[in-house]
Amino acid sequence: MVLRILLVLCVLGFFGCDSARNEQYKELSALRERIMEDNINGLFGPAQRDLWIRFSQKAMAFYRAYPSDSSAPSLIFNAAELYFKSNEGDSALMALTLLEEMPTFARKPELLYLRGQVYQMLFLNYDEAEISYLAVVKSYPEHPKAQAAETALSVLTTLNNTLEDSSALLKDSLLYQP
């Protein structure tokens, strides 16, 4: 009799966990739908940023609770993208680092490209951005992100040349005093 009660409690516990997982996933799906609707309607602003952050935080919590769930990598990538759009560079890099550690994550070119964007646009770290973009171009030359990475590399080259020219002009100006 005690064994039956334990078995029933274990089964109920298992289904209870599955139910909690399903509820979290439903909530994430609803948030994702709202984000997509806002994008379709061209809505951008503080309310959308709050929605992006809330989705990202819930996606990270889902991953912590269910790291082996098949939807976790996609949710983490979505979180990284939304953290990037929200100018949350550290959080975006944290999510991307989690994805890099997942051997089954299939969207490596997109991951590397997004990492380059984070470094370029949020941290103004052009050297790290260049490393990420070059990794896309060299490792995935046929992927659509390779062409975008090549364009980004051209922009970085132009930026670096402009910065070097500006620095040289400043040194040559009368205002420059070493």
pLDDT digits (tens, 9 = 90+) for 95-130: 999 999 998 899 999 999 999 999 999 999 999 999
Supply the pTM of this predicted model: 0.79
Per-residue pLDDT tens over the stretch 42-96: 877 888 999 999 999 999 999 999 999 999 999 999 999 999 999 999 999 999 9
Across all residues in the chain, what is the average pLDDT? Answer: 86
The DSSP annotation for 29-67 comes to HHHHHHHHHHHHTT--SHHHHHHHHHHHHHHHHHHHH-T
Q: Are 114 and 96 in contact (CB under 8 A)?
A: yes
In angstroms, rounded to a whole number, what is the distance separating the alpha carbons of residues 170 and 86?
34
Q: Are 118 and 96 in contact (CB under 8 A)?
A: yes
131 versus 163: the higher-pLDDT residue is: 131
* φ, ψ at 55 (rounded to 5°): -60, -50
Q: Dihedral of CA 37/40/46/50: which sign?
A: positive
